[in-house]
Amino acid sequence: MANKKSLEAFNRTMQDLRGNQQLFGGALILLSGDFRQTLPVIPRSTPADEINACLKSSVLWRYLQKLTLNINMRVHLQNDPAAHEFSKQLLEIGDGKIQIDRTNGLIAVPNNFCTIAQSIDELIECVFPNIVQNYRNHDWLTERAILAPKNIHVNAINFQIQAKLPGVVTKYKSIDSVMIKMRQ
């Protein structure tokens, strides 16, 4: 989720660019997102700091009209009961309808919600079965993903997947500098 300061800066920028002191310089602006998702990330902050930084804490929030989508069209058009159940479970988690364990603050994920892996290798094999035979199939690859909370974890998982593939690893590095021709 974006920090409220971004929206407020965008408002001031639009007012300056359009020479109009109305909200967003009088332009119609469409914002979209899911407020059940993560709060803005603020290093070394408290939960109160994160809540204060969210869009709902902005002075602009009261001027926005909130519209909600009521039908998940992706699930509706697929006509897939499993996708419908998964979507329903995600909403229950996001809406706080799943029981929270008071001792550790965690929720119990239903057994049919995901596959539990005991190791990174098991996770890779579950998400990318037979990767050695399928890694050249771009359609097959685009149907799969492993999500991780931090880039360091993503890099470690990517390295483990690459180690399974045939061939020699080659690194290509870019250089960010300007070439200036000297005139003589």
pLDDT digits (tens, 9 = 90+) for 22-31: 999 999 999 8
- The string of pLDDT tens digits covering residues 75-104 is 889 888 888 888 888 888 888 888 888 898
Look at residue 144 and tell me whether its pLDDT is greater than 70.
yes
Distance CA 64, CA 62 (A): 6
Look at residue 149 and tell me whether its pLDDT is greater than 70.
yes
Answering whether pTM is above 0.95, one says: no
Looking at the structure, tell me whether residues 106 and 119 fall in a common domain.
no
Number of domains comprising the chain: 3
Distance CA 98, CA 82 (A): 19
Domain that holds residue 12: 4-63
One-letter amino acid of 121: D
Looking at the structure, tell me whether residues 44 and 74 fall in a common domain.
no
- Mean pLDDT score, 113-140: 92
Look at residue 66 and tell me whether its pLDDT is greater than 80.
yes
The pLDDT assigned to 172 comes to: 83
**Token output for 77:** 């058009």
* First-to-last C-alpha distance (Å) of the chain: 53
Looking at the structure, tell me whether residues 119 and 87 fall in a common domain.
no
Looking at the structure, tell me whether residues 8 and 59 fall in a common domain.
yes
Residue 129: half-sphere exposure toward Cβ, Cα within 13 Å:
1
CB 58 within 8 A of CB 12: no
